[in-house]
Amino acid sequence: MTQIEGGPPRNDQNSQQNQQPPPRERKTHTSDAVTDALKNLPRVNKLRKNTEIKGRNAERALQRAKHQDRPLLHRDASDDEPVITVSDDEEEQSPTSYLHEAKRGREDDEQSGERKAAKRIREEIILQPGMSLPVVFHDLRRHEVYTPLSLFTCPNLEAINSNAATLPLIKLNAPVPGDKQPRVLDTSTFELKYLKETDMDRRQWIEASRNYVSFIEAASGSDTSPESARWNSHFGFFQFVEEAETNYCAILATDIALRKKYISLPFVFDTGFYARELDKAIIDMKLNLMERKVTGGGPSGAPSDTYSGGSRGAPPFPTGSGGGAQATVCLICAKRGHYWNHCPSNSFADNTPLFSGPKGNNISASQSGQALCRAWNAKGPTASCTHDQAQRAHLCSFCGSWDHHTFSWSCRRNPPV
């Protein structure tokens, strides 16, 4: 019992019991209108919302775990949402109220569908040169997937735009283990249906290269960006080299090889390096044509826009039925059906061991490693060789003899076609 000055005595225990607790600080909704609306929700709606809140909180927990494991790759999650208080004494809705709820839900869905349909009606725009290409190209670029140049021909761009919803896709490996696998255009399947980049003629290649550079300019945000300048230099080099039409097969092969190399290891544009790579491809192209002429495998004229090569060291792809790989004789094993740089044999047809084998861009003697001249072995003394014999020896690639060339058939029989 205590005595308060100027008043009657008061019981401390009763005073503490009658004192009201301070109002709880709101952590979520500070608006009285929102709080009242949540309180007035039917019990079933509160339970439904609590289920949604718990689902979002579970996602936050997963995000926090990812952040703790890899804080630099994953951002931290926000605090959990509190669930709506549901009192035990709240009345359950009548059985028919669920039917009304379901009906209202269907009506809301129908109205929502109408709104979505209205949003899908797109406004027409005026097309301008240089506008960005379909999203499939941006996906390939973002995930650093090699994009065949044939996708950028005008007919193929139209096909991609017209069939965007049904284009074949493939899954890539997730950039981070456990993350969702990204899906991008299946370029191999697309090429099989429309056009392979190894089959492009020079007109198609020029058209596609210009569209490719336009895409890079749009994606990088400027036609003067370092990336767009780099690819302008790349295609400009090939387009304006000497005898570009005559050497188109080698140009296409070198372009493809360097673009693939860039995807795996980006490198700066260097005119000297490009010139050396192109010279190698031109030599390979001419030697392949020479081999085809000597073995009766196809036309001996200069390559034209009607056929193109796939990769450096591979033969051009001729049109018509004037012969093909089956008519070609290998400079290493004397068998038909393949070129020297794809020789799968370990012996001749009579099971005797081979004298030579492929080594880089050359045919080399198996024992000594000496590089052999392919031009001399294909044409003999009439070959126009400008190299020193210390670099590529004039020795038969079948037996190693210096007194005859390979396709003189002095030591082996020319296999029947």
Going by C-alpha positions, the residue among 358, 404, 359 that lies closest to residue 377 is 404
Spell 377-399 as b/e; 16+ CB within 10 A means b.
bbbeeebeeeeeeeebbbbbbbe
Mean pLDDT value of segment 178-205: 89
Tens of pLDDT along 220-269?
877 778 888 899 999 999 988 888 888 999 999 999 999 999 988 999 99
Q: Please name the amino acid found at residue 211.
A: N
The sign of the dihedral angle between the CA atoms of 311, 314, 316, 318 is negative
Mean pLDDT value of segment 184-206: 91
Q: Which of 269-278, 303-312, 319-328 has the lowest mean pLDDT?
A: 303-312
Tens of pLDDT along 365-376?
998 888 998 888
Contact of 303 with 276, CB cutoff 8 Å? no
- Which tokens in the block code for residue 209? 């290269």
Going by C-alpha positions, the residue among 217, 242, 243, 221 that lies closest to residue 230 is 217
Please state whether beta strands 356-359 and 169-171 pair in parallel, antiparallel, or not at all (unpaired): unpaired
Mean of all residue pLDDT scores within the chain:
76
Q: Which 3 state secondary structure label does DSSP give 346?
A: coil
Higher pLDDT, 412 or 23: 412
Following DSSP, what letter does each residue of 31-69 receive, concatenated?
-HHHHHHHHTS-HHHHHHHHHHHHHHHHHHHHHHHHHHH
Higher pLDDT, 209 or 141: 209
Residue 79 predicted with pLDDT over 60:
yes
Going by C-alpha positions, the residue among 78, 51, 80, 53 that lies closest to residue 67 is 78
Mean pLDDT value of segment 132-156: 83
pTM of the model: 0.46
Mean pLDDT value of segment 128-147: 72
Residue 138 predicted with pLDDT over 50:
yes
Tens of pLDDT along 81-122?
888 887 766 555 555 555 555 566 566 555 555 555 554 554
Q: Please name the amino acid found at residue 4.
A: I
Higher pLDDT, 158 or 106: 158
